[in-house]
Structure 1
């Protein structure tokens, strides 16, 4: 099995579905009169639905050159939806879409994920993935912000009468804001901060919080699907944010395994 092929297909299968759903959510948030924006969102939904379907047609023994071309094609689509999202953000911040239901932070949030996706495809095709110590810090900074945003969105989309759940969402928001600041501090101390003990503690602490948030999202998703709580959260959005928490946990587990292997070998990680 070619590691490049496996990694590429994994990234595309996960993120193309996310991009497809972003297009759906943005479309739902536009006003009835925003027909051109709705049409563009629908177009992106179709593009990424097709990419997602094709990604599952490739096998892990596919020709790496074929997958490299596929990555390039998908990167173009990711760049285009990123540009669309930034354009929409500009319209909202200039008060040109009054009455829509897309929060500015949500549009910024989904644009950051599109940018992350296209950068990952660039890294894969160029063979320039970050060294482990940098990847641990940078991936955590990215995903901790995503998780903090999710908590804020959940808190704002739950009905105000769901006071206990709203309070829980606010607590998660504060927790992940704090973790994000800690990650930024660790980042600014690079490369001296990139020792195995510090990075291991960093990963372990974040994983505890992500597991708690993941479980909260799962409960919220199930309650929403069963119509047992009051909210304006689309059931697919509830599942969407749950999957992203699962993705972050998967990445943290990979980092932990890598660090454990290095600890066994009694080596320090240093910035190269």
Structure 2
């Protein structure tokens, strides 16, 4: 019988280790020619998460729980260390001690994802798998902020002459800001009565908007790969944001299935 903690742990590592590796590349590409030490550090994190991906391939859903928990601890340490690196870069940037080609919000964005990854691994090693209503709301708050950030990054990295796409990105940014505020309001209310209708409504609204954003990202990715639009968006970054939208949709479906099983 497959242990759900093992299966979920490997799934989280498979997705987020690749994301962390790509963050390392994006940060590295954003440093200037005179920031050689930061380039080296970013490359070290890239190599670290590449090794984690290689080690992951030795595990399966039938692997021993203790071995997977030990691997979780190892990856947890890597996630914490890259989080600290990102926060240091953000601090140096905000204090104007360094100037990079990465927006401060983007660096903060990547650090939030590292913190999320580390927290998920810690929870799984504590045996936490099934979400509570408050967890569902907080998870949506996290991903709605991620999606809102993506829309802002896309809008700012597109060439200003791509007016239609810039306007679309701005509209998505506004849409997800509103969904984020709505989810934060629900989180602050912490309703004590039956929350199922409220959760269902939130998940439905978020699913519809995220599908639209995902499709927009897919279109943008294809246009960038075919050199049909003008932008400073790396093709891998376009695919990166697309995969995170897909991940949010998977999580919405997972939470809905959990609610239906109650």
TM-score normalised by the shorter chain: which range applies?
Answer: over 0.9
Secondary structure of the corresponding residue to residue 57 of structure 2: helix
List per-residue Cα deviations over 1:32-90 (Å, max 9, x = no partner).
Answer: 11000000000000000110121122111111000000000000000000000000001
Report if the CA contact (8 A) 1:2-1:61 is conserved: yes
Instruction: Return 55-64 or 231-240, whichever deviates more.
Output: 55-64
TM-score, normalised to structure 2, is 0.97
Mapping of 1:98-247 within 5 angstroms?
98=99, 100-129=100-129, 131-192=131-192, 195-247=195-247
Structure 1 segments unaligned to the other structure (5+ residues): 263-272
Task: For residue 195 of structure 1, report the CA deviation from its aligned partner.
Answer: 1.2
Distance in 2 separating the partners of 1:125 and 1:138: 20
Gaps of 5+ in 2: none
Contact 2:130 2:258 survives alignment (8 Å): no
Alpha-carbon distance between aligned partners in 2 of 1:191 and 1:128, rounded to the nearest angstrom: 22
TM-score by length of 1: 0.94
Which residue in 2 is equivalent to 1:258? 258
**CA distance in structure 1 between the aligned counterparts of 2:193 and 2:20, rounded to whole angstroms:** 34
Report the CA distance between 1:130 and its aligned residue.
6.3
1:50-129 matches, within 5 Å, as 50-98=51-99, 100-129=100-129
Q: CA RMSD in A?
A: 1.1
Cα deviation for residue 26 of structure 1 reads 0.2
Q: Tell me the CA shift for residue 191 of structure 1.
A: 3.5
Q: Would you say 1:49 and 2:50 are equivalent positions?
A: yes
- CA drift of 1:189 comes to 1.1
- Return the offset for 1:194: 5.5
Distance (Å, rounded) in 1 between the aligned partners of 2:112 and 2:49 = 17
For 1:193 and 1:228, the matched residues in 2 are separated by 52
Count of aligned pairs between the two proteins: 261
How many angstroms apart in 2 are the aligned matches of 1:109 and 1:86?
10
Q: Per the alignment, in what secondary structure is the counterpart of residue 57 of structure 1?
A: coil
CA distance in 1, matches of 2:123, 2:246: 23
Give the secondary-structure state (helix, strand or coil) at the position aligned to 1:145: helix
Query: What corresponds to 1:5 in structure 2?
Result: 6
| Alpha-carbon distance between aligned partners in 2 of 1:85 and 1:93, rounded to the nearest angstrom | 12
Q: Return the alpha-carbon distance in structure 2 between the equivalents of residues 84 and 129 of structure 1.
A: 29
Instruction: Report the CA distance between 1:132 and its aligned residue.
Output: 2.7
Distance 1:159 1:194, change over 3 A: farther
Alpha-carbon separation, structure 1, partners of 2:171 and 2:193? 28
